[in-house]
A and B are shown apart, each in its own frame.
Chain A
Amino acid sequence: MSEMVSISVDGQKFQAKKGALLLPTLLEHGIMVPHFCYHEALGPDGNCRMCMVSIEGQKRPQIACDTPIKKDMVVSTKNESINDVKRKILELELLSHPVDCPICDQAGECSLQDYYMAFGLNESRRPKEEKKHKNKKLDIGKNIILDQERCVLCARCTRFTQEITKTNELAIIGRGNDARVSTLPNQGMQTPYAMNVIDLCPVGALTSKDFRFKQRVWFMHSAKSVCHGCAKGCNIFIDHNQEKYKSDTIFRYRPRINKEVNGHFICDEGRLSYKEENSNRLEQAYAHNKLISKENAIAYLLHALNTLHPLLIVSPSLSLEELTVIQLLSKHFKLEVHAYVQGYEDESFEDEWLRSKDRSANLASIKKLDIKTSEKSLKAALECTGLIINFNHFSFLNPSPHEQAMLLHKKEIHFSSHNFENCRHKKLLYPIASFSEHEGSLINEGGILQKYEAGLCNERENILSLVHELIATPSTAQGVWDAHLKEVFGFEYEAIGDEGRKI
């Protein structure tokens, strides 16, 4: 099946895989063919009839999603007659559509809108009083709102629950133009991956209750990032916007396609974890329950590093670059570094798909850098010191009785992205940036090195610049990579690429 043959599309010749489907091939070559029901993760269904193309030798227009490529095939995607066919089918799709784009969250990223602007632009030939009305706001659970009137019945969502999660919560009921997506009576979505149907929906029929009416999509900026919710490292977009007089805020995470890691999807818990980046952040430094200036805080930190022989504790979710400079810091002051991982294990979170029981984002880097992780070694290290310096390890910021006992009679310095009030009375509590505010790289549980961009531009100090102030290590991820990691991995920072790199 992998034989390459020559085909011609709109007069342009290229090589394509014989027997492969025409639509994805055209899309890969950047040829815009409108489609609703076809989706890369779900394959063709042939119901929307939008992807019509004309093929030489065929009497009728054919749907590209179900046409296998043949040798010397001559395809036309935009001659007048095929455009007319597409226009007419689009007209039918819009026949009972409420055209409520001004209040629709999908506006700006809606296939129906895009296609109408691309080649529709027709006046409606049916009086609006004759539109078929259906349910406009149906809460189907798991943060999903279904608007049956906006639906084009492409069945992507139902196929997702049938073929991918195999949980079968959604189906199309009713016949003809009475057909609509529905759940079983009094039952909602169950799967922990439910919100992916919102991304799959090409129109505004499935919207997120969480995101509804919060932001117009064209105002938002997207950063390519990696979810820090578990060791799977699902690729995401961080969609954020800084509104006037407000700080830069994340409005949603969306899955970013990475076939080696998460495919097209992410879990709902990861998707909604953006809230943690926005709220309850630590803004100022505290010492013994009093606000302290950053200069005084740094002065105290230097004093502690120089004279108190502290134990450095790192979160296994810090970036590879952050871990590297902390390790350099430990070497500079001849200190020990430890990453206690027990607190990041959660068996109940694990499933067979995208959710890993290891809730840290970068344990593989910890191992790569030979940082100790066991409780036994931590206890041994704690016996030799009276002070810990914690870099965002939540087990010590928000300790359980077990961890409290380990820290008994120890003095504590915490660098924290989040506000843990219980830590304010410690020796020092100092605010740092979270992952959405700086760039870096991670190694996931499958050994794939991935980098993530800085999303929010809030002025929080990150660990790289902090350590830079102390011992003049490079202050950027790129700098750390060039100076210290390039040699270890054997390639440039850029070479990691958007889809990561297996190591």
Chain B
Amino acid sequence: MIQKIVSKNFNIKDSHKLEVAKANGAYESIDKAFKLKPVDLEVEISKSGLRGKGGGGASAGAKWCLVSVTNEKSYLVVNADESEPGTFKDRQILEHDPHLLIEGIILTCYAIHAHDAYIYIRGEYVAFAKRLEEAIAEAYKDGIIGQNVKDFGYRVDITVHRGAGAYICGEKSALIESLEGNRGHPRLKPHEPSPEYFFGKPTLVNNVETIATVPFIIKEGADAYRAFGTEKSPGTLLFGLSGHINNPGIYEMAFGESMQAFIDTVGGGVKNGKKLKAVIPGGASTPVLTAKEVETARLDYESMREVGSALGTGGMIVMDEDTCMVSALKNLLSFYHHESCGQCTPCREGTAWVDGIVENILSHHSKLDDIDLLSDISKTMNGKTICVFAPAVAMVIDGFISRFKEEFEAYILQSKESVNV
């Protein structure tokens, strides 16, 4: 099942060091790329069908095109603000193969006519930021980046910027606001397809893993990448496993594999021989799946939508039969309550309210209407805000309530009893 493209060097000793990375093929694609025109790289990426790996799964080629067609000075921003609960894939790249990311940055900059790249890294990733800085210093020293990339006459400068700990800064426009020195609030979405704008200049924002996939596609060609995965979800993804699982970790696989098989074989099954109850498939913001839904689920964007969830970041949280789903939802809602940026009314007030209601259910101070109230609030939160934070929360709530309603009711009935006594 394992298919290593991005993770091919992860298990090599000292893979983060330039010397070792080079010995294992790092920066080879640069020589090929600079013999091509920038547009050729863009075409190759479009042909490969590469999809953004930060969770949204939008076409990378289309996004690149929006920037390059402007013909203006542009920027590349790498989104390393990995904060989605259950997601810990980008850190593996930063830790084990930072040079792969740098290589991807050089290629992407060349393709979109950018000379300056910013890596916005999650504030808590102190050690990874340090490692990244070290790798960048090595690359500068070796002439791989800087005024004259490998003597090809192209300048690429990379700056690492550490975030201050807000989840919302992983949203691309909030990330840019934060990078500009403003409060990390998502911007109003454009009405027509448009790139992001960093200090007024068109900017490409891509996830770490997306950029780290670029060297393979440029080196081996779009078809080599398309050889993996499905027609609409080509290639591979760093899938994560955490929770009640025997082998937690990050595993690279082609899209389209069976979730059940992945959990059973690669994951080694549920911990302590217990039964599977539920899986949150792709980071906290994707609707939870029941064990029955997991049986049929396949790990690509389209299939996951068919089972009523989303692939997201591919970071799966596995929950065994003893998991309390009310507590699980409370855990997630505490997070969203804390992380809502507070800009839009439905999200600012809604996340706090739903968190309070589930808290009440958990502490047996609730009534049966509260389930309907939760659904009603999540309806108001869905599709009425600037960014997709609130809709994600709404879907999380709906996911839990529609699939595990009886557990919520059981809690509430207990509270009725306690009221009567």
Contact = CB atoms under 8 A, between A and B. Distances in A.
Interface of A: 44, 46-50, 52, 59-61, 66-68, 85, 88-89, 92-93, 95-96, 125-126, 130, 132, 152-153, 171-172, 174-179
B385 A49 contact: yes
Interface stretch (B236-244, B287-295, B302-310, B344-352): B344-352
Nearest to A68: B191
Nearest to A70: B191
B370 to A, nearest CB: 10
B8 interface: no
A48 B352 contact: no
Contacts of B352: 95, 132, 176-177
Given A52-B384, A92-B353, A174 B345 contact: no
A177 B166 contact: no
A96 B168 CA distance: 23
Nearest to B379: A88
B296 to A, nearest CB: 28
Contacts of B384: 49, 52, 60-61, 85, 89
A85 B191 CA distance: 22
8 contacts: A47-B343, A48-B345, A85-B380, A92-B346, A95-B352, A176-B352, A177-B352, A179-B342
B373 interface: yes
B342 A177 contact: yes
B188 interface: yes
Q: Which 4 A-B pairs have the closest CB atoms?
A: A179-B342, A177-B352, A92-B349, A176-B340
B345 A176 contact: no
A178 B345 CA distance: 12
Contacts of B249: none
Contacts of B383: 59-61
A49 B339 CA distance: 19
Contacts of B376: 88
Interface residues of B, number: 31
A176 B342 contact: yes
A282 to B, nearest CB: 53
A184 to B, nearest CB: 14
A176 B188 contact: no
Which residue of A67, A95, A152 has the most chain B CB atoms within 10 A of its CB atom?
A95
B183 interface: yes
A18 B26 CA distance: 53
B344 A47 contact: yes
A172 B351 contact: no
A177 B188 contact: no
Contacts of B347: 176
A178 B339 CA distance: 10
A175 B342 CA distance: 5
Contact of A46 (B188, B349, B350): B188
Given A50-B345, A85-B384, A125-B373, A175 B340 contact: yes
Contacts of A89: 345-346, 380, 384
B239 to A, nearest CB: 30
Interface string B183-194: 100001001000
B341 interface: yes
Nearest to B350: A92
Contacts of B373: 125
Contacts of B351: 176-177
A176 B339 contact: yes
A49 B166 CA distance: 23
Contacts of B96: none
Nearest to B192: A68
Contact of A174 (B168, B337, B342, B349): B342
Which residue of A47, A68, A178 has the most chain B CB atoms within 10 A of its CB atom?
A47
B115 to A, nearest CB: 31
Contacts of B379: 88
Nearest to B342: A179
Given A61-B384, A89-B380, A125-B373, A66 B188 contact: yes
Contact of B188 (A44, A60, A61, A172): A44
